[in-house]
Amino acid sequence: MVVAGRFLTLLLAFAGMVLGIEGIRRAVDWWNGVLPAPTFIDYALMACLPLIAWLWWRYLSPFGKGRGQCLDGACRRDERN
């Protein structure tokens, strides 16, 4: 069961990476005028960018949950008030 969970995590991470890269490519092409008439899939990929950025910031960046200034334990941002 642990192997299946790790495989699913790896699969979702890869899918997120692909969505992020393709979304950035489409957004840059649209911004530069190479993509004059975006289709539904172009809009969907560009709409995924904030979600991908939030996931990166929250879980993968050095400033995410439990990292950075919260390493000393004085910061309790995981606790609910």
Identity of residue 63: F
Tokens matching residue 57 = 């910031």
- Rounded to whole angstroms, the Cα distance separating 25 from 19 reads 10
What are the residue boundaries of the structural domains of the chain, listed by start?
Answer: 2-66
State pTM to two decimals.
0.64
pLDDT in tens, 17-72: 888 899 899 999 999 999 888 899 988 988 888 888 887 777 777 666 655 555 55
- Rounded to whole angstroms, the Cα distance separating 63 from 24 reads 22
Q: DSSP strand E in 1-81: where?
A: none
